[in-house]
Amino acid sequence: MTPAQAIVAKELRSAYTSPIIYVVAAVFLLIFGLLSFMYVQAAGIRAIQLIQMQGGAAKINLNDLVFRPIFYFSGFWILPALLPILTMRVFAEERKLRTFELLMTSPVGINHIVAGKFASVFLIYLGMLGLTGIVPVVLAMFNNFDWAPVLTGYLGLLLMGALFLAVGVLASAVTEHQIIAVLVSYGLLILVLLLGVIGSVLGDTPVGNTISYLSFIEHYDRLVRGLVDTKDLVYYACGILFMLFLTHRVVESQRWK
Amino acid sequence: MIDVQHITKRYGDRTAIERVTFSVNKGEVLAFLGPNGAGKTTTMRILTCFMPATEGTATVDGFDCTGQPQDVKARIGYLPETPPVYQELTVSEYLTFVGRLKGMKAAALQQRMPHVIEQVSLGDVRHRLIANLSRGYRQRVGLAQALLHDPPVLILDEPTVGLDPKQIIEIRELIKSLAGSHTVILSTHILPEATAVCQRVVIINEGRIVAVDTPEHLSARLRRSEKISLTVKTPPPNFADRLRGIPGIVSVFAPADGGAYLVECALGRDLRDEIARFVVTNGWGLLELKTISMTLEDVFLRLTQHEEGMGEQGSSAVSQETGT
């Protein structure tokens, strides 16, 4: 077992008894479930309207009426609100409780530590996201919707989540206070979100396009609409790696203070 | 085994340790003695590669702490000031994690863990959550963590803090048993501990090393005269004056309440024989006669508090005793 795997195993063991993880997962699933319920109900009302207008069996598109709004809401609201809480403790707590000294004086590279920490929160998130799979599976029993955009939407949620987690891990590394870690992640995420807004204000100019590219909005948008483009995948991969690289530097630099 | 050359550590403009130089031989137990905030922890953190020195070099087993930190870390077991334990894990889960972190193979870990648990007597709590353990047990879990991968070098920051007297003795015995096969540096501000387990003592104060020597040499070096305590059953009225007549006796301090006389002799002369004969032949009744050796405590206090007075003949504490 490599040191990184050891860290993942330990983090998952800690998460298993951590009330915070359960609360975050419960809130995430609750909101996701509630959203699904609301949009499905809205789609049902829409279907009844269509039947009354057209008088025959109406064909309603669940991809447009249910999944796309759920993905937008989850990606732009639920994830930024909840994931920083999932990551706040990863480094901050180690430093507060002085267990950081154990990690830093063990023959383990900092890249292993960062990778282990990130992988563990990612796996927890993967578990939470996996549980939401019940929504499309149940809906699939009643309606023939197109699975492809649902899967790309999930891919979007996965990548967005991973990016937010990487931002959260970085924020947790800069402080020993978990609350500050959460607030720093919120700050960073809002900043990146604003880049998208500024980019769209500037419009289709070279500067505007560049700034838009830096924000996750348009990349996520394409995935939710069912488009898998290499440049979006590259964006997420680079974003995650860059955040983890910064985390590595921050952890390393703390030795020099 | 451990060689520290002129290391300096500055935090901003505050200097934590300055030009600290010492070395530890293989198999030796060295105590780091000093008041709180003297730089003991800082020195240990540099040796364990937790942080680099601002200046100077430190090597462990020939590996440089700045250049080859992984090699150094692999050879060191470190118990920090606060035991680095995860409260949500049980003792055995925690030790398993530490073993993996130190790169131990599963088989080696399986074999080693019961032995270490036995060494620090954690057997009866191994399946309990660390959160529910008392301070003493947590300290021992921290110690187990440092011993787990059987490192040749152990660096223990105040290993007996928070333990009860019986446990302290057990841990000291454990450290003594490690001497020879392991090189140990431990920090403490409890002086008997240093005398009990260490071959050499480094006294550090305000970031500088003020003395490095064996506990015996240290007290001998700072002793400026041989002092003898003497109790006599029926001393004559001018006993003190008559004692001064013995050649070699520098001063005699007579007690006001009829207790022990304090006799100070010239350095390097043991006059107990003469004094005994003098008292006995006169029939005054010799009750007690013993040399007073300076304890490490006195040395420590003198080195850390009366530095400026070191060259003078006797510090305030001693002149008070002799009453001259």
Task: Concatenate the DSSP letters of all residues of B26-45 into one string.
Answer: TT-EEEEE--TTSSHHHHHH
A contact residues 119-138, partner B, Cβ 8 Å cutoff: none
Separation CA B200–CA B206 (nearest Å) = 20
A-chain residue closest to B89, CA distance: A14
- Which of A97, A108, A255 is opposite residue B50, by nearest beta carbon? A255
The answer to whether A40 and A150 are in contact (CB under 8 A) is: no
What is the pLDDT confidence band of residue B305, given thresholds at 50, 70 and 90? low
Residues B229 and B209 in one domain: no
Minimum mean pLDDT range among B86-90, B126-130, B275-279: B275-279
Residues B206 and B230 in one domain: no
Give the model's pLDDT for residue A125: 96
Residue B228 lies in a domain: yes
Residues B65 and B157 in one domain: yes
- Which of B50, B82, B103 is opposite residue A104, by nearest beta carbon? B50
Give the model's pLDDT for residue A257: 62
Separation CA B301–CA B309 (nearest Å) = 12
Residues of B in contact with A103 (CB under 8 A): 101
Judge whether B225 is closer than 8 Å to chain A, CB to CB: no
Residue B85 lies in a domain: no
Judge whether B110 is closer than 8 Å to chain A, CB to CB: no
Residues B61 and B170 in one domain: yes
Residues B163 and B269 in one domain: no
List the single best residue of A10, A98, A105 to mutate versus B (max B Cβ within 10 A): A105
B-chain residue closest to A19, CA distance: B88
Residues B215 and B228 in one domain: no
Give the model's pLDDT for residue B221: 66
Give the model's pLDDT for residue B183: 93
Give the model's pLDDT for residue B311: 39
Residues of A in contact with B98 (CB under 8 A): 102, 106
- The residues that bridge with B90 in the sheet, in sequence order, are B129
What is the pLDDT confidence band of residue B163, given thresholds at 50, 70 and 90? confident
Residue B283 lies in a domain: yes
DSSP string computed for A133-184: THHHHHHHTT----HHHHHHHHHHHHHHHHHHHHHHHHHHHT-S-HHHHHHH
Residues B199 and B253 in one domain: no
The domain boundary residue, chosen from B219, B239, B259: B219
The domain boundary residue, chosen from B199, B219, B239: B219
Beta-carbon separation of A98 and B51 below 8 A: no
The domain boundary residue, chosen from B171, B190, B219: B219
Number of domains within chain B: 2
What is the pLDDT confidence band of residue B191, given thresholds at 50, 70 and 90? confident
> Which helix H or strand E contains B280, and what residues bound it?
helix B272-281
Say which amino acid occupies B21.
T
Separation CA A187–CA A168 (nearest Å) = 10
Residue B313 lies in a domain: no
- Determine the average pLDDT of the residues in B148-152: 92
| Residue B127 predicted with pLDDT over 80 | yes
CATH code of the domain covering residue B32: 3.40.50.300
Which tens digits make up the pLDDT trace of B8-44?
998 888 888 989 999 999 999 999 888 888 888 899 9
- Provide the residue range defining the domain that includes B42: 2-75+151-219
Residue B203 lies in a domain: yes
Residues B203 and B156 in one domain: yes
- Which of B52, B78, B80 is opposite residue A256, by nearest beta carbon? B52
Residues B9 and B62 in one domain: yes
What is the pLDDT confidence band of residue B319, given thresholds at 50, 70 and 90? very low
User: What string of pLDDT tens digits covers the 257 residues of chain A?
Assistant: 888 999 999 999 999 999 999 999 999 999 999 999 999 999 888 888 888 887 766 677 888 889 999 999 999 999 999 999 999 999 999 999 999 999 999 999 999 999 999 999 999 999 999 999 999 999 998 888 889 999 999 999 999 999 999 999 999 999 999 999 999 999 999 998 888 888 888 888 888 888 888 888 889 999 999 999 999 999 999 999 999 999 999 998 887 76
Q: What's the mean per-residue pLDDT of chain B?
A: 83
Beta-carbon separation of A98 and B80 below 8 A: yes
Residues B168 and B68 in one domain: yes
Residue B281 lies in a domain: yes
| Residue B317 predicted with pLDDT over 80 | no
CATH code of the domain covering residue B275: 3.30.70
Residue B81 lies in a domain: no
Residue B122 lies in a domain: no
Which tens digits make up the pLDDT trace of B71-95?
999 999 999 988 999 999 999 999 9
What is the pLDDT confidence band of residue B132, given thresholds at 50, 70 and 90? very high
What is the pLDDT confidence band of residue B297, given thresholds at 50, 70 and 90? low
Judge whether A7 is closer than 8 Å to chain B, CB to CB: yes
Residues B48 and B14 in one domain: yes
| Residue B313 predicted with pLDDT over 70 | no
Give the model's pLDDT for residue B296: 64
Minimum mean pLDDT range among A234-243, B156-165, B211-220: B211-220
Residues B13 and B57 in one domain: yes
Q: Supply the pTM of this predicted model.
A: 0.83
